[in-house]
Structure 1
Amino acid sequence: MKFIDEAKIYIKAGDGGNGIATFRREKYIPMGGPNGGDGGRGGSIYVIADRNINTLVDYRYTRKFLGQRGENGGSADCYGKGGDDIVLRMPVGTVITDAITEQVIADLDQHDKKVLIAKGGKGGLGNTHFKSSTNRAPRQCTKGEPGEEFELRLELRVIADVGLLGMPNAGKSTLIRAISAARPKVADYPFTTLHPNLGVVRVDNEKSFVVADVPGLIEGAADGAGLGIRFLKHLQRTRILLHLVDIAPLDPGADPVYDARAIVGELEKHDPDLAAKPRWLVLNKLDLIDESERQEAIDNFLSAYRAETSYEGPVFTIAAIKGEGTRPLIFAIQEQLEKMAAENPRPTASDLSSDEADEGENPDAPQEDESEDNPEEH
């Protein structure tokens, strides 16, 4: 099943049924009076967050949802039956926006969160409501009100605690494979990752956090280069960003400092709030540098990078393909997440994930053959 994170739909709640104007007609009961019943209300449309759904693919192909109309009123004071409500189940993290006004209608950031999106129309009034001492045979009745209707834009922003940033082939997918049960495709060509992947990192039996791996960025991504920046929305709910840098590029003309600075520039251009999130520097592929030269390479990179960006945050050095340096990294992340949760409590992504989440990846994402993985990718 394809990973779909955007969709556009049209919804219309049911119209209310019409009221009716009737009169009681029975033998030996003259002037029985009005007995027209009210129309039933139209069916409303609700949305509910479901952690067992991982994609908006259902709304890519079915785009129109119409609520049931209420029944008309009947004689003998019979009220019309109300229309059945519609409940649309969507992934946790879905943001629902009015496509016309651009106003956010709902943010499904918690499992089982239920929101009324379109209210059904009220039923019309029967003529019993219009009788009085001076109007004993009213013939007035009202029609049902129309249900609300909207054109909606659905946008899925995955729930994760930590997001991975970096150039294509910086080793993001390799890192998420090393620290979780997720198995995204890994290969030796750019843009191997075409959709976000989630992995649950188990620090111990009682502690875990969720990592999101998104397709790599390149310079000019904010202007549409490469895969663009459409997947950056999946990092907007994270608490920490890990900026992975290939410190030992195979291309002799590549400059890790320039590439790292380009990522920061694209973030700032796309969303200043996202760029302002805590961002940790992770230098990857240390195993490709001779041990006697590693510290010099690290020092040279940090000296040049800090001079250009004034970066003063944490720095970690790893070899993701071998798992070297990953344990100190995940322990530091867990410690920071606990500290941030104490200062600003909110449900963590691991709290929102299902019991099967420690399987590691999006079950609706396309599965890749393990034989295609390149053992030389870092």
Structure 2
Amino acid sequence: MFNAGLPIRFFSCRHFHTCLIRNASSDAAYNYKLRGKGRQFIDLVRIVAKGGNGGDGCVSFHREKFLAKGPPNGGNGGRGGSVVIRACEDETTLRHLGRVCSAKRGQNGLGGGRHGTMGADLVVKVPVGTVVRERVMQPRKQEDDFYKVEQEEALEDRWVFFPREDQDRELPEGKVNFFKQAQRTMAQEDKYLRWRARQEDNTLVHVDLTEPDQEVIICRGGAGGYGNPHFLTNENRSPKFATRGRKGETREFELELKTIADIGLVGMPNAGKSTLLGAISNAHPKQGDYAFTTLHPFVGTVDFADTYQLTVADIPGLIEGAHRNIGLGHAFLRHVERAKILVYVVDLSGESPWEDLKTLQSELEAYRPGLTKRQSLIVANKADQVRRAKDNLEQLQEQVADIPIVTVSARYEKNILKLTSTMRKMVEKVRNEEEEAKRLALEKEEEDL
């Protein structure tokens, strides 16, 4: 496929073979970029979140001069840190997230009654508009021998013993085994914790972070272990064991970024959306006279003289079949869902801009029913090419009567003031409707209370 507008040159066989190799490598690089590899903008990731483990309890006794057998004074372990996801306006992509997000474990208890400090929470900053969905983790298939743990190893995983203390030694007849009592006590606590977990709402986490500084705790850290004073009783004045900290939660999540903007620019490839965004806002997206110049959404801010602002998102070009995820369909369409107003950018210099408009509307409606019912505006771009644009504009106005049309030339910034004024009126109307709906909802809640 030859590029239009380039002069035709004749090459020798060797030069032609070299050009084929270069074209193949460039096509491979282009396909590599379209598949999402190497992109700086990532809007869908899957992570495994791990809460921090609790710190271990300490086995210690008070010792000083003339006090050979003091009371137990081992400290409790600190609680493990939690994994928190927070919406931040400074972030624009999910590229910085790793595969595993682990919080810090709690500090172990120390002698002298010093409790361990709590592990630091891991705060994961994500862009505003991120949807957090929990996935059901599939248990790994392992050999049965892996689960056969020796009794000594099981005790070491759960308990901390005083040095040279042998819990397996046989006690004289009639003497109480205090360690067995402690094991029964912890078994009752485990049973209670399992019961409480069943009583809690165990639905999968599904949170939409649409406000700045909005956060959600997705994994909690494990509780710290008990020091040996926890097991002090009237009979057992010298407990020589403590518990280790509990494990933190481990969950798998899917994070999907959906761009939040007042206006979403939707159009076919090379319709002039990036040029239009650069003409009306402070954004500087890449511009070029070829298809798929924009490979990820750009959000620009339109500033007015009275300090009023509205945001406009440049959605990459859609093609026919995008709702079936052809090309990068879903990667583009997910950013249209949150736009309050849809602006269809059509190329007046094309063969049939009204057919492009029908294709865009059908793809949006197939992807999400009811999406095309939002307030819309048609921007007839490239009106500077008068010969074909005038005839196409008349036919477009005949076939589309329910959506207002504004003709512009983004390249030469013609009729931009009228376009921004129209956008502002539409955005103000939508915002007023949203505020009124919120006010009515609050009044209804107050009446119910």
TM-score, normalization: structure 1? 0.79
Counterpart of 1:51? 89
What does 1:187-266 align with in structure 2 at a 5 Å threshold? 187-249=288-350, 254-266=351-363
Counterpart of 1:116? 217
Please give the alpha-carbon distance, in whole angstroms, between the structure 1 residues aligned to 2:383 and 2:345: 12
Deviation of 1:173 (Å): 1.3
Counterpart of 1:331? 421
Counterpart of 1:168? 269
Does 1:97 find its partner at 2:133? Answer: yes
Please give the alpha-carbon distance, in whole angstroms, between the structure 2 residues aligned to 1:105 and 1:180: 34
Please give the alpha-carbon distance, in whole angstroms, between the structure 1 residues aligned to 2:204 and 2:262: 26
Deviation of 1:25 (Å): 4.5
Contact in 2 for aligned 1:163/1:212 (Cα 8 Å):
yes
* Greater mean deviation of Cα atoms: 325-334 or 24-33: 24-33
Please give the alpha-carbon distance, in whole angstroms, between the structure 2 residues aligned to 1:222 and 1:207: 35
What does 1:8-19 align with in structure 2 at a 5 Å threshold? 8-19=46-57
Deviation of 1:162 (Å): 0.6
Counterpart of 1:272? 369
Indicate the SS of the match to 2:104: coil
Please give the alpha-carbon distance, in whole angstroms, between the structure 2 residues aligned to 1:146 and 1:224: 40
Q: Work out the percentage of aligned pairs sharing the same amino acid.
A: 41
Please give the alpha-carbon distance, in whole angstroms, between the structure 2 residues aligned to 1:323 and 1:245: 16
Counterpart of 1:281? 378
Q: Which runs of 5+ in 1 are unaligned?
A: 307-311, 347-378
Please give the alpha-carbon distance, in whole angstroms, between the structure 2 residues aligned to 1:158 and 1:109: 10
Cα RMSD (Å) = 2.7
Please give the alpha-carbon distance, in whole angstroms, between the structure 2 residues aligned to 1:75 and 1:151: 37
Deviation of 1:264 (Å): 0.8
Number of residue pairs matched by the alignment: 333
Please give the alpha-carbon distance, in whole angstroms, between the structure 1 residues aligned to 2:254 and 2:94: 11
Indicate the SS of the match to 1:38: coil
Could you tell me which amino acid in structure 1 is paired with residue 318 of structure 2?
L
- The structure where helix makes up a greater share of residues is 2
Counterpart of 1:314? 404
Does 1:87 find its partner at 2:123? Answer: yes
TM-score, normalization: structure 2? 0.67
Counterpart of 1:144? 245
Please give the alpha-carbon distance, in whole angstroms, between the structure 2 residues aligned to 1:30 and 1:186: 82
Indicate the SS of the match to 1:234: coil
Deviation by residue 1:80-129 (Cα, 9 ceiling, x = unmatched):
23222222222232222223379554433333334333221110122322
Please give the alpha-carbon distance, in whole angstroms, between the structure 1 residues aligned to 2:122 and 2:262: 32
* Greater mean deviation of Cα atoms: 212-221 or 145-154: 145-154
Could you tell me which amino acid in structure 1 is paired with residue 96 of structure 2?
D
Structure ID, larger Rg: 2
Contact in 1 for aligned 2:352/2:392 (Cα 8 Å):
no
Please give the alpha-carbon distance, in whole angstroms, between the structure 1 residues aligned to 2:204 and 2:264: 27
Structure with bigger RCO (C-alpha 8 Å, 6+ apart): 1
Counterpart of 2:99? 63
Contact in 1 for aligned 2:318/2:332 (Cα 8 Å):
no
Counterpart of 2:230? 129
Please give the alpha-carbon distance, in whole angstroms, between the structure 2 residues aligned to 1:274 and 1:146: 45
Please give the alpha-carbon distance, in whole angstroms, between the structure 2 residues aligned to 1:244 and 1:100: 41
Deviation by residue 1:200-224 (Cα, 9 ceiling, x = unmatched):
1122241121111111111111223
Please give the alpha-carbon distance, in whole angstroms, between the structure 2 residues aligned to 1:122 and 1:103: 22
Please give the alpha-carbon distance, in whole angstroms, between the structure 1 residues aligned to 2:386 and 2:79: 71
Deviation of 1:140 (Å): 5.6
Indicate the SS of the match to 2:47: strand
- Aligned counterpart for 1:39 among listed residues 71, 77, 80: 77
Indicate the SS of the match to 1:287: coil
Contact in 1 for aligned 2:294/2:317 (Cα 8 Å):
yes
Please give the alpha-carbon distance, in whole angstroms, between the structure 1 residues aligned to 2:325 and 2:79: 47
Indicate the SS of the match to 2:230: helix
Deviation of 1:154 (Å): 2.2
Indicate the SS of the match to 2:334: helix
Counterpart of 1:366? none
Counterpart of 1:374? none
Contact in 2 for aligned 1:49/1:111 (Cα 8 Å):
yes
Contact in 1 for aligned 2:260/2:338 (Cα 8 Å):
yes
Contact in 2 for aligned 1:16/1:146 (Cα 8 Å):
yes
Deviation of 1:28 (Å): 4.6
Contact in 2 for aligned 1:38/1:79 (Cα 8 Å):
yes
Does 1:344 find its partner at 2:434? Answer: yes
Could you tell me which amino acid in structure 1 is paired with residue 409 of structure 2?
A
Q: Which runs of 5+ in 2 are unaligned?
A: 1-38, 138-202, 437-449
Please give the alpha-carbon distance, in whole angstroms, between the structure 1 residues aligned to 2:67 and 2:289: 91
Please give the alpha-carbon distance, in whole angstroms, between the structure 1 residues aligned to 2:392 and 2:106: 72
* Greater mean deviation of Cα atoms: 32-41 or 104-113: 104-113
